[in-house]
């Protein structure tokens, strides 16, 4: 008997905040698909042989967030799956940080993320970063069960 190949992958997400942006600004986030080349997309189409289960959202260090915001995960451009707690509260080294309910994206689903600022931006533009961890199941790669 065979089972599909399952693995975990962490994705970086970034968004740019223009100078003098007011609190409540809606920003489109870029999902980094290849950290070596920096290739990113505002929408990721899940391959037809895969499914994604997003299991964690976090920042690696407090400097990742210059203007606090919340991230909203959207499915197929219309369905809001969740909005995170303030990103500044999601420091990976904090054992009591808020967690998300796992988010499911099936084959051919479209994943996009937007950020909503919680405070006004100063006179200089900036870029913020956060990460999400996905359990990816690939049905095109089968593994033998022992």
pTM above 0.85, yes or no: yes
- Measured between alpha carbons, how far is residue 47 from residues 35, 43, 140 in Å? 19, 12, 10
Confidence band of 123 (pLDDT split at 50, 70, 90): very high
* pLDDT reported for residue 145: 65
Per-residue pLDDT tens over the stretch 19-70: 999 999 999 999 999 888 989 999 999 999 999 999 999 999 999 999 999 9
* Structure confidence at residue 60 (pLDDT): 97
Domains parsed from the chain with CATH numbers = 14-139 (2.60.120)
* DSSP string across 82-101: EEPSPGGG-BTT-TT-----
Average pLDDT over residues 91-98: 94
Q: Is the pLDDT of residue 143 over 80?
A: no
Return mean pLDDT, the chain: 94
Q: Are 45 and 53 in contact (CB under 8 A)?
A: no
Where residue 1 falls among pLDDT bands split at 50, 70, 90? low
């Amino acid at each position: 008997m065979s089972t599909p190949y399952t693995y975990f992958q962490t994705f970086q997400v970034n968004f740019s905040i223009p100078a003098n942006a007011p609190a409540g600004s809606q920003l489109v986030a870029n999902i980094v698909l290849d950290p070596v080349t920096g290739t990113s997309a505002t929408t990721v189409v899940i391959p037809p042989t895969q499914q994604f289960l997003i299991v964690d959202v976090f920042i690696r260090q407090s400097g990742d967030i210059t203007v606090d915001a919340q991230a909203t995960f959207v499915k197929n451009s219309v369905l809001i799956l969740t909005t995170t707690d303030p990103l500044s509260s999601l420091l990976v080294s904090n054992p009591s940080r808020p967690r998300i309910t796992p988010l499911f994206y099936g084959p051919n689903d479209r994943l996009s993320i937007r950020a909503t600022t919680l405070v006004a931006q100063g006179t200089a533009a900036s870029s913020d970063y956060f990460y999400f961890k996905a359990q990816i199941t690939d049905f095109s790669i089968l593994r033998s069960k022992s």
